[in-house]
A and B are shown apart, each in its own frame.
Chain A
Amino acid sequence: MVDLPIPNPQSAAGRIDLKTKLLTAFVVSTNVLGNFSMSWGLKHQAVDLGLSPLAYIRLIFTPWVLLGTTLLILWLLSRMMLLGWADLSYVLPVTSIAYVLSAVLGKVFFGEQLTWQRWLGTLFIVMGIIFVGLTAANTTKQEPER
């Protein structure tokens, strides 16, 4: 039987733990909603992207793609902050719940098919997140410069 530490929100470690969880939730939400908005915009815009940079730039300024891009910029900044104190090998798996949520949104809003393989995949991802979530968020303990 493994004794898992219960974080005390009053302690410094508890505050970092709470901060990590809240920021992880923000990172996941902005990622899922950003990808969804982009996909919605691209599916409702009959454009041939080809390789012309101009077509991509024009597309960025359509409402849904613009909303998606804004959310993905917020995702990028919040994820950078999270990487400031949490390991990369911690951040990657725990934010993977975004893949599951994107698949669910794809089914609900775009009628995409979710086969049994995709549900099994979802189960594996959730299990992986639980495993990694039980480990310490930072194992390098680098002294940051301000």
Chain B
Amino acid sequence: MKWSMVAIIVGSTVLADLLQSFEMKRHVVAAEDLRPGRLAGMLGRLAQRGPLVLAVFFMAISFFAFMKLLSVADLSFAVPVTAASVALETVLARLVLREKVTALRWAGALSVACGVALLAM
């Protein structure tokens, strides 16, 4: 149960993050849009953007799987282990989003992934 929840969380988080990053760079949300008077309008506009709706759907799957995981595992296990997505997402950011991942950034992502693996032990 514990590891199947981890797999669901990682898979849905990867898809949600790729969709969010792709879509948010096409249509930027300005800081002023977070003011109380404009927030509802901004949320309405976000809800009309297909990739973001799909991203929120995947995040909802991840959220409920995370709730289930928290009910059966320690916080200090549940949070770090789900960061297994960092290495996978860095590779996909390079391949799918065409980000320039420098040697320093690869080293950083690898270091974070190793750290997360150690935290999950």
Contacts and interface: CB of A to CB of B under 8 A. Distances in A.
Given A89-B89, A135-B102, A81 B111 contact: no
Contacts of A118: 76, 118-119, 121
A125 B67 CA distance: 24
A103 interface: yes
A92 B108 CA distance: 10
Interface residues of B, number: 59
Contacts of B111: 124-125, 127-128, 131
Given A117-B121, A139-B99, A132 B115 contact: no
Nearest to B81: A99
Contact of A140 (B25, B75, B112): B25
A115 B70 CA distance: 20
Contacts, number: 197
Contacts of A17: none
A99 B79 contact: yes
B49 to A, nearest CB: 11
A89 B21 CA distance: 10
A114 interface: yes
Given A96-B112, A96-B116, A146 B28 contact: yes
Contacts of A83: 17, 20-21, 24-25
Interface in B76-121: 76, 78-80, 83, 85-86, 89-90, 93-94, 97-102, 104-105, 107-121
B20 A103 contact: no
Interface residues on A, range: 35 or more
A144 B46 CA distance: 15
Contact of B34 (A81, A92, A113, A120): A81
Task: Tell which of B46, B101, B115, B121 has the most Cβ of chain A within 10 Å.
Answer: B115
A84 B29 contact: yes
B20 A92 contact: no
Contact of A128 (B66, B102, B110): B110
Given A89-B93, A89-B99, A96-B86, A38 B119 contact: no
B59 interface: yes
Given A47-B71, A81-B34, A121-B121, 4 more contacts: A92-B109, A99-B119, A118-B119, A139-B100
Interface of A: 19, 35-36, 38-39, 42, 47, 49, 56, 59, 72, 76-77, 79-81, 83-85, 87-93, 96, 98-100, 102-103, 105-107, 110, 112-115, 117-118, 120-135, 139-140, 142, 144-146
